[in-house]
Amino acid sequence: MAVGGGAPVTVQSMTTTKTADVDGTLSQIYALAAAGADLVRCTCNEEAAAEGLARIIPRSPVPIIADIHFHVEMALAALEAGVQGLRLNPGNLRKPHEIKLVAAEAKDRGVPIRIGVNAGSLHPDLYKKYGGATPEALVESARNELAYFAEVGFEDVKISVKASSVPLMIESYRLASETFDHPLHLGVTEAGPPPAGLLKGTAGIATLLAEGIGDTIRYSLTADPVEEARAGRQLLESLGLRERKGLDLIACPSCGRSEIDVIAVAQAAQDALGDRNLPIQVAVMGCVVNGPGEAREADLGIAAGRKRGHLFIKGKIVRVVPEDEMVEALVAEAERLVAEGVEARLAAADAGAEAEAEADRRELLDSKGADANASETKVELIRKRFGDEGDPAG
């Protein structure tokens, strides 16, 4: 799998199983791949884990990266197992001859290495030199590791300079992007459980991706790692960095004009559509007054009014259904839309659906939308004022 250059930004996550548990680890790897992970990292901390990797790799749907801490023999064993990548932490694998040995072995096998600098495990000498974990300290740690690699002619490198502090993480990666000509792996380490962990991860990763920095990403959440993979994929799709693979459900935040419990209906739609892997954007709107117009760019949507749901495709009403059938109709149309395409489904629109929907919209506009939607009346009042009084500024 290509990383860096013009290759798409990739999503990484890490298994939480014991790597020696081959079936359990493979089950999690498949779940991660289904959720959007392009690469999966597994710990290699003992002989049984290395043996597990040898059995896992031939059966894995995605490349496997071995996570190495402290023990050089584990890195060498992982290479023997056939891993497609290594992650070394220069803060805890410190002996130069061991680092160069691993790099030389990786070079011979064509296996890339990620230099995984972490603010929480920075070498004590660098911590003392810079008075703490600073961007300069993290980048120098990676630079020192690169120097060892250069001694054996190894250049197939990714770099990460992670921190649990979002501002420190952002500044460290900005400095790294100016310093190195290697792919960068982004992440806010030890972000914690959702929702706070998701917010911290997104704040750091999205900021850098928007600046054109980053080639692979990982959300480090205290949660099921499937949530990491799903969040990573959704972030890349939201930023337009990857083609949509799954559902993108949008919904209005609700207001006094809502004819339904938007939160409940949106959640029901998410639950019904979420696991179907339909690569479309679906909108759930609380009222028919503005809903179809506001969500006209969505592939498919439904808006509520007068105890009915207005089903629309690309803003065009195609069907009006009873309120208690809204989610069912949305799911059925979503599957047909993916199978048949937009033009075919527009051609299959119910006759009279648009006129029926317009009647609902007009009635609600008259009964509930006076304050929010009587814009034309207000325009007439403004014109009358100018007509009666002339130019107010004059």
Integer Cα distance of 306 and 283 in angstroms? 19
- Per-residue pLDDT of 249-269, as tens digits, reads 998 887 766 767 888 889 999
Cis peptide leading into 195, omega within 30 of 0?
A: yes
Domains delineated in the chain: 10-238 (3.20.20.20), 248-373 (3.30.413.10)
Q: Please give the span between the terminal C-alpha atoms of the chain, in angstroms, as a whole number.
A: 69
Q: Tell me, what's the pLDDT at 307?
A: 82
Residue 358 has pLDDT above 70, yes or no: yes
- Per-residue pLDDT of 193-235, as tens digits, reads 999 999 999 999 999 999 999 999 999 999 999 999 999 999 9
Q: pLDDT higher for 334 or 257? A: 334
Residue 391 has pLDDT above 70, yes or no: no
Most confident segment among 84-88, 277-281, 386-390:
84-88
Q: Which of 361, 184, 329 is CA-nearest to residue 259?
A: 361
Q: How confident is the model at residue 357 (pLDDT cuts 50, 70, 90)?
A: confident
Q: Tell me, what's the pLDDT at 367?
A: 65
- pLDDT, averaged across the chain: 91
In this structure, is the dihedral angle defined by the CA atoms of residues 40, 6, 150 and 137, taken in order, positive or negative?
Answer: negative
Lowest model confidence (mean pLDDT) among 118-127, 283-292, 299-308: 283-292
**Model pTM score:** 0.84
- Per-residue pLDDT of 63-113, as tens digits, reads 999 999 888 999 999 999 999 999 999 988 889 999 999 999 999 999 999
Integer Cα distance of 246 and 95 in angstroms? 45
Q: Tell me, what's the pLDDT at 99?
A: 95
Q: Which stretch of DSSP H or E encloses residue 116?
A: strand 113-118
Tokens 């107010």 label which residue? 392
Residue 40 has pLDDT above 60, yes or no: yes
**Cα radius of gyration rounded to whole Å, the chain:** 27
Residue 275 has pLDDT above 70, yes or no: yes
Integer Cα distance of 72 and 67 in angstroms? 11
Partners of 300 in the β-ladder: 282
Alpha carbon separation from 368 to 84, 307, 308, 373 (Å, rounded)? 61, 14, 16, 9
Residue 8 has pLDDT above 80, yes or no: yes
Q: How confident is the model at residue 339 (pLDDT cuts 50, 70, 90)?
A: very high
Integer Cα distance of 291 and 275 in angstroms? 25
Q: How confident is the model at residue 372 (pLDDT cuts 50, 70, 90)?
A: very low
Mean pLDDT of 141-145: 96
| 327, 351 Cβ separation under 8 angstroms | no
Q: Give the whole-number percent of the chain exceeding pLDDT 70.
A: 94
The structure tokens listed for 310 are 């207005």
